[in-house]
Amino acid sequence: MAAPGAHATGPRPARAVGLSSAEVAERVARGQVNDVPVRSSRSAREIVRANVFTRFNAIIGVMFGIILVVGPIQDGLFGLVIVANTAIGIVQELRAKKTLDSLALIGEAKPQVRRDGSAQTVPTGQIVLDDTVLLGIGDKVVVDGLVTEADGLEIDESLLTGEPDPVLKHPGAEVMSGSFVVAGAGAFTATRVGRQAYAAQLAEEASRFTLVRSELRTGIDQILRFITYLLIPTAIGLIISQLAVEGSDWREAVRRMVAGIVPMVPEGLVLLTSVAFAIGVIRLGRKQCLVQELPAIEGLARVDTVCLDKTGTLTEGGMDLIELRPLRRGGAGPASADRTRPDRAHPDRAHPDGTHPDPPDPDGSHPDRAALEQALAAMGGADSRPNPSMQAVIDAFGAPEDGRWRVLEAMPFSSARKWSGVQLLEPQGSEAGWLLGAPDVLLPAGDPALAEVDELGAKGLRVLLLGRTPVALDSPEATARLEPLALLVLQQRLRADAADTLRYFEGQQVRAKVISGDSAISVGAVASHLGLPGGEQPVDARTLPEGGEELAEVADRTSVFGRVTPQQKRELVAALQARGHTVAMTGDGVNDVLALKDADIGVAMGTGSDATRAVAQIVLLDDRFATLPSVVAEGRRVIGNIERVANLFLVKTVYSVLLALLVVITQVPYPFLPRHSTVLSTLTIGVPAFFLALAPNSERARTGFVRRVLRLAVPGGVIAGTATFTSYMLARADDVTDLEADTSVATLTLFLVAMWVLAIVARPYTWWRLLLIATMGGAFALVLVVPWLSDFFQLSLAGTRDPWVGVGIALVAGLALEVVWRVIVRRGDA
């Protein structure tokens, strides 16, 4: 939308006043409204169904039902644990859903529409058919429509067509939802809303609660699938053997059969994984970090390369114009420049050194300082959607003086052109185009002014060139006959937390790379100021090789890139991924969208464009770059802790399968009742796993989850099962057969070995982990010594020989576990 007084070339439609309130109400009543719900999480019904109706809950539920029939009820305690754990999972996910839904509402795009002749901000779901929707730089087209107003309006349709080049839109052109504005401004009339618009599919895909593939989830699924294959034949053999052994007491046979089957199912592993993810999302949500896909926190924890966009990430959005430097004719260098901040109140005052600005040329061909400031003021007034650089110009020079400088045509800034411009009717009656943009784009190579630009850029300053041309703005030769007039020196505002965040990534062995559209020297200066390794050696992306191994080599060894186009950002991300890196990309502008979409993890700023928020997995709603370490730490906590508890659950599965097989082979009663499995699982796995899964953990995420877990789980389970069955059979070898006493010895042995496994998994020790281990040991001691508890769990240690034999066997098993830990596990990690 051109500024007041602008005269666009060719006929233009009259500015639409938009729908009236009555017309909006009429369309709402007819259902012609964009009321497609954007889901940020699963529904409550889906959460309940996902946590209740699982194959493992079905197995446990059947076993629980059997125990309810044969009794006693204490043998069915495992069923109550499953119910409690499932309830915890449902409650935690419902809490996560509430947080996600509220945060998604905060981060939801709210476009502007024109109604009753004025602009109004409305939620996306309240746009109706025939609404006039306003567009500016960075806005996403949320419904389909036809353009009614266009002022240099350029739309990027790459998310729809894959074509990276923006499309210039004129009145009458079609715009599709899912595209976004990269330059100019305009308006369009909504022609398709709701489920008829492509935005319905895009928004659903971008905002939906999704359990995307991750190494953690994939690894657990592989393990559980394998266990299922073992479970069925083992359970069948166990059922037959126990019915044969306990033929005279079928109820006892059924109880011991259930006791053998239940521990094989690592039902808590999946549950604790979901709970850990859900709690992680809640914790990050409290820090104003919206996780749009739950495994994204795991993904960022696995990232080894973070690509940062300088503007909006390392620097704040605002800028200050600190200096206006007029150039001599022909751009041969600076004139006697005023080295102070521009002063609108005294444009003709003397310089601090006593000199005066250049006097105006007799023919007016080379404007003086006052004229430059007036022209800049006119350029600022003509920009309806100023970017930070133009806003700094507006802040410095204010509004143009009425009538002296008339805007005939305006061309907003385009990231493809790297400049903006206006066609001005100057006070002396001449007409010329005034351009403001990147000096290295507007000036020819070797121009003397570029040396000064580089000098300023090396200090971390941003420099724009103001020039004047007799050529029309829409001409391909608009910059060919440009007369450089002045340099504008701007200072970016560095984020206070940027340096600390970069140091955090460096300490975590995560390489940070700055990929920016600004000049390489300026970006390098900012990176060096923040202490980024390699910041002093920036690379201009215009010199990069085109694809292939050569580009991957440069991308891998370089830390700072400048003058990067949106397509090159995408190519750099792909090149790093080709080198085996897991890449995260942060950004806030539309030029970051392609790279955000292709990166392993996309991180968008909350105040960035709608398009970046739509494609990112993580959105920093408060724009705090310093939140990223929290996301990494949360992901590492989840990954590290789930790996810990996976060891506990899978050791139990392995020793349960081994015990069942040994019982089937030897045709002896299964050594445990369900109540024994309950107390063992609760004290050595259930309660400790809950605390370990939620504890702090800063271990760096690594690949190979399944391999590392099985390295301890398989030998650990074999050792535990062998030790337990050995003590059980030695106890049965007594002259007097007492099944309860034999079971008690086996329970004691297995508890001690399982506690040793817990002690290994809990390393390195902290006070609360030692307290946790001691508490579990004390709880089991109470079960043995308190009469009503020992009666309830049917545990009684008879004599001294068998219990001490069990303790000795457990000690030997513990030493074997230490050998496994030090030889197999520790060496494998080296």
User: How far apart are alpha carbons 690 and 648 in whole angstroms?
Assistant: 11
The top-scoring range by mean pLDDT among 66-70, 306-310, 459-463, 622-626 is 306-310
Does the CA dihedral 291-295-301-304 come out positive or negative? negative
86/638: higher pLDDT: 638
What pLDDT does 602 receive?
86
From 304, 309, 358, 802, active-site residue? 309
- Mean pLDDT, the chain, as a whole number? 78
Angstrom CA distances, 547 to 229, 321, 515, 789, stand at: 46, 38, 16, 71
436/640: higher pLDDT: 436
63/618: higher pLDDT: 618
For the full predicted model, state whether its pTM sits above 0.75. no
738/167: higher pLDDT: 167
356/367: higher pLDDT: 367
89/616: higher pLDDT: 616
Share of the chain above pLDDT 90, in %: 13
Quick one: how far is CA 501 from the chain centroid? 16
| Catalytic residue status for 304 | no
The answer to whether residue 561 scores a pLDDT higher than 50 is yes
What pLDDT does 751 receive?
94
Two tokens, residue 328: 């001599």
Average pLDDT over residues 476-502: 85
What pLDDT does 44 receive?
78
Q: How big, in percent rounded to 5, are the helix, strand and coil portions of the chain?
A: 50, 15, 30
Does the CA dihedral 92-95-101-107 come out positive or negative? negative
Two tokens, residue 797: 């240690």
Written as one string, the DSSP assignment of 730-760 is: HHHTSSS--HHHHHHHHHHHHHHHHHHHHHH
Cis upstream peptide for 764 (omega within 30°)? yes
Q: Judge whether 253 and 247 are in contact, CB under 8 Å.
A: yes
Q: Judge whether 498 and 506 are in contact, CB under 8 Å.
A: no
DSSP reduced 3-state for 408: strand
Q: Where are the alpha helices (DSSP H) in 407-547?
A: 439-442, 448-457, 498-507, 520-529
What pLDDT does 247 receive?
64
Amino acid letter, 98: K
Angstrom CA distances, 43 to 9, 40, 291, stand at: 53, 9, 17
Q: Where are the alpha helices (DSSP H) in 303-405?
A: 369-382, 388-397
Does the CA dihedral 150-151-152-155 come out positive or negative? negative
At 763-795, the pLDDT tens digits run 888 899 999 999 999 999 998 888 888 888 778
Does the CA dihedral 637-638-640-646 come out positive or negative? positive
65/460: higher pLDDT: 65
The answer to whether residue 588 scores a pLDDT higher than 60 is yes
Among 206-220, 233-247, 563-577, the least confident range: 206-220
Among 26-35, 198-207, 289-298, 536-545, the least confident range: 198-207
At 70-85, the pLDDT tens digits run 777 766 666 766 676 6
User: How far apart are alpha carbons 500 and 532 in whole angstroms?
Assistant: 10
CA nearest to 744, candidates 787, 679, 796 = 796
Does the CA dihedral 639-640-645-646 come out positive or negative? positive
Average pLDDT over residues 537-552: 86
